[in-house]
A and B are shown apart, each in its own frame.
Chain A
Amino acid sequence: MKKKQSIEHTQLLVLSLLAGEDMYGYQMIMELARRSDRTFEMKEGTLYPVLHGLEKDGYVEAYQQEAPTGRMRKYYHLTRRGGAALKTEAEAWKTYSGAVNAVLRSSPGLNLA
């Protein structure tokens, strides 16, 4: 591996979710499960440390918006810095996963080619 990733995989997934639209926490959990065909079903409470860490680092910013029930919801928005980090880390992930796939495909016993 050329370098250690500066953000973790869960953070990368969250950033990629926010690349399309601003979302609130529960919406992210649902969307992540849907897009991964329920492969990524994280413990829902653990999403918030990830989001607050990204906010602290300036990758996302939060704002309040009223929900249909009248309650205020906290929405997260991808910042320019977060977008740049997403692009960099997605490239790194693509390289890394491509390399892993190449090794796996070259293993005769696995028949992945």
Chain B
Amino acid sequence: MTRREYTARVLICLRRVTRQEREAIQAEIDGHMEDHICALLGLGYPPELAEERTLALMGDPAEVGQELNRQYPFRWLAVKWGAIVLMLALALLVARPAWTWAGVVSDNLWNRFAPTHQLDLRELSLEGYVDGKYVRIASDVAEVDLRQTDGGVTMRVYQAGLEVPLAPKTEAWVSVCLYSENPFGETPQIYGDVIDMTGPLGREVTCTFFSGVKRSFTVRGQVRRGEELRFTYEQYGHRFDFSVPLPWGEALS
């Protein structure tokens, strides 16, 4: 065993020390052996014998390492890591409101000027690929621009589509978004369980939400050929009534 190997065997036992403590211990033990070897060389020992004798007098490196390890209780390392985690948590806590505010402003601007960036009916599918073909929820989609404002919040209907335009009865889909008239103002997020959504008498109208999109969604309802999709949306004191023209096109001719 060499001097370097002895120190390495001591250090391998240290499991609760920081990097700086490990380096300090390494320097101290290595320095001790250097002092001893120098003293023996001064007495006329040949270098190999001086190192051999020094190592013999140092004792079992594993025993030394284990005893040293006991002097560094786990709690100090736990305190250090606990402090780091706490600082990170505090930083996140401080950063979160700013992050949320940036999200609100971003949604307001996208929904006012380019809502399809957030949610585009032409790209949506509930089934994904079937027999190698991407199945979209609406085959015919038209751009519309219907807006209603209530209490500083605007609801915008910007797309309308039909599943099977030539059928006497089919599913109609429309894309809807919310934004605040004040770009920096709060816009309510959409939560399915608080929306009061009603359609024409006897007709069911439902909302479909898509993950990661907080202020855009689709409204779906069954319609007969030539009809418009009517729905009422009520949430947080805002109420909007829409009757959305659908892209019947050739189906009416």
Residues of A that sit less than 8 Å from B by CB: 24-27, 30, 43-46, 48-49, 52-53, 56, 67, 69, 71-74
- Does the CB pair B25–A48 fall under 8 Å? yes
- Provide the bound-state CA to CA distance between A43 and B58, in Å: 5
Q: Mark B33-48, 1 if CB is under 8 A from A, else 0.
A: 0111011000000000
Q: Which residues from chain B contact A27 at a C-beta distance below 8 Å? A: 35
- Give the interface SS of chain A, mostly helix, strand, loop or mixed: helix
Q: A48-B28, A69-B34, A72-B27 are in contact. List 20 more A-B contacts (CB 8 A).
A: A24-B35, A25-B35, A26-B31, A26-B35, A26-B36, A27-B35, A43-B58, A43-B64, A44-B36, A45-B32, A45-B58, A45-B59, A45-B61, A45-B63, A46-B63, A46-B67, A48-B29, A53-B71, A67-B31, A69-B38
- Does the CB pair A74–B58 fall under 8 Å? no
- Does the CB pair A43–B57 fall under 8 Å? yes
Interface residues on B, range: 20 to 34
- Provide the bound-state CA to CA distance between A73 and B28, in Å: 7
- Does the CB pair B59–A25 fall under 8 Å? no
Closest CB in chain B relative to A7 CB, distance in Å: 14
Closest CB in chain B relative to A9 CB, distance in Å: 15
- Does the CB pair A73–B31 fall under 8 Å? yes
Q: Which residues from chain B contact A67 at a C-beta distance below 8 Å? A: 31
Given contacts A43-B59, A44-B58, A44-B59, contact A49 B70 (CB under 8 A): yes
- Does the CB pair B59–A46 fall under 8 Å? yes
Q: Which residues from chain B contact A69 at a C-beta distance below 8 Å? A: 34, 38
- Does the CB pair A74–B29 fall under 8 Å? no
- Provide the bound-state CA to CA distance between A74 and B39, in Å: 18
- Provide the bound-state CA to CA distance between A67 and B28, in Å: 12
Residues of B that sit less than 8 Å from A by CB: 10, 24-25, 27-29, 31-32, 34-36, 38-39, 57-61, 63-64, 67-68, 70-72
- Give the interface SS of chain B, mostly helix, strand, loop or mixed: helix
Can you show 7 pairs from A to B with CB atoms below 8 A apart?
A24-B35, A26-B39, A43-B60, A45-B59, A46-B59, A72-B31, A74-B27
Closest CB in chain A relative to B4 CB, distance in Å: 15
Interface centre among A25, A44, A49, A69 (most CB of B within 10 A): A44
Q: Which residues from chain A contact B71 at a C-beta distance below 8 Å? A: 49, 52-53, 56
Q: Which residues from chain B contact A25 at a C-beta distance below 8 Å? A: 28, 31-32, 35
- Provide the bound-state CA to CA distance between A69 and B34, in Å: 10
Closest CB in chain B relative to A57 CB, distance in Å: 9
- Provide the bound-state CA to CA distance between A56 and B76, in Å: 11
Q: Which residues from chain A contact B27 at a C-beta distance below 8 Å? A: 72, 74
- Does the CB pair B59–A71 fall under 8 Å? no
- Does the CB pair A45–B28 fall under 8 Å? no
- Does the CB pair B64–A26 fall under 8 Å? no
- Does the CB pair B32–A49 fall under 8 Å? no
Closest CB in chain B relative to A34 CB, distance in Å: 13
- Does the CB pair A45–B64 fall under 8 Å? yes
